[in-house]
Amino acid sequence: MPEPDDNAIELDDEGKPLAGVKAKQAAVEYLKSVLEQNEDQPIPLDMFYQRFCQRFSHSIRQDVATNPKELLQFLKLNRGLFFIRSNKVTLVKNRPSEDGSENGSDEGDLESNNNSVFPLDQNALARIHFVKALKPAQELVERLLQDIHNQERKVVGLDFKTVTVGIDGELFLSLCVVATQSQIGVFDLASSDVIIMESGLRDILESDKITKVIHDARRVGSLLAHKYAVHMINVFDTQHEKFGKPLHDLRSISFVNLQRVYYPQSIMLSDVTPRKLSQSPNWGVRPMSDELLLSSVEEAHCLLSALHQTLSNLIPVHLRGLFEDKCIEVLLASPTRPPPLSFNPGSPYRISTRGGGRAQPVSYSQSGGYGDRGAPVAYVPPNSARRMADACTQTFSTGDIQVLNVFYE
């Protein structure tokens, strides 16, 4: 199959290398022109992919699709233009809009949602603020609160990125992302976990006047309660329920699938490739590249810009009370262990070594039950004289093995 020269750099209308959103737009225009030339004749998907490969180099295809299956997913993101049946592609012509379609909203609503918030591309990096120390975090929270109070509806997009540490797979918060209409704050909790308590971020999470739009709040609800004694309220959880199952039996839907169903335009308007959206990056990597930073804010940005309004419109008035009850239910902390009486900034994920000294392990007094643990005290090992000693061990084959003059402390 003949392919374009990868060494030839294709430029966009601004003279920059074709990539990201503009690469996706160029692909849509070309694929649309191919179908227009064939009029009423459907084109098999494999042949359609060959035509796509003949037009675009591999570097551009990485932003769109690198195999027929990915091209099929890309075409479904533009289901207002392309119609797929039996692995054959045609153009959509005069299809009447259907109420209750799978995208959950008409095109006008989606356009109005998209216009209300800035698009998420390389130009949006100036609106994304990454902080990893307490003082900059406090200043960022003040700016976010000012944005929230200036909004007619006090709503933010919220997302937490987690990392798993250790053999037991203990979960820790790595990033907290808060999106408003004009900017996005990214708080590096891995570098300084006191940010969540002392920057004012806790006030946003526990405010009953600010609606937090989040996907799958149950994922972090117990973690916030147990580790930080933070109890979120007034959330709009986009994790949806099917088949009338109880909450503990609910099968979760991934956020990228939520995008594909209810607002595929958000994927088209993002510089993040569809493949990377479906992958889970390592959120513990530091320093964060621009590409990783864009990926980290994708969820909170999309929740605020489109999904909140779209999904809110789908909830009947008589079921809103039930929906609010479900959102409260997912925030209930797990009863398997008690919440902390106060915030303990020490964690095995990030041990502070300020002042040049080694961090001392922390233990709690053993008097009383869980509700009477007492203040944390530093563990001091008992003093013992250093001495020389003999040691031995026994094996099944050789018997005693004598080890002499071993130094023990």
Of the candidates 92, 113, 85, 102, the one whose C-alpha atom is nearest the C-alpha of residue 28 is: 92
In this structure, of 122-131, 177-186, 378-387, the range with the lowest mean pLDDT score is 378-387
Cα–Cα distance, 220 to 173 (Å, whole number): 8
Cα–Cα distance, 43 to 40 (Å, whole number): 9
Give the predicted TM-score (pTM) of the model.
0.68
Residues 394 and 402: beta-carbon distance below 8 Å:
no
Average pLDDT of the segment spanning 2-13: 63
Cα–Cα distance, 3 to 35 (Å, whole number): 20
Which residues on neighbouring strands pair with residue 403, listed in sequence order?
391
Cα–Cα distance, 291 to 57 (Å, whole number): 21
* Residue whose entry in the numeric block shows the structure tokens 């991934």: 254
Cα–Cα distance, 199 to 136 (Å, whole number): 9
What pLDDT is recorded for position 355? 46
Cα–Cα distance, 283 to 352 (Å, whole number): 20
Polymer length in residues for the chain:
409
Cα–Cα distance, 79 to 101 (Å, whole number): 12
Q: What is the pLDDT of residues 285-342, one digit of tens each?
A: 999 999 899 999 999 999 998 899 999 998 899 989 988 988 888 887 655 555 454 5
DSSP state of 123: G
Give the pLDDT band of residue 20 (cuts 50, 70, 90).
Answer: confident
| Interacting residues of 41 by C-beta distance below 8 A, sequence separation 6+ | none
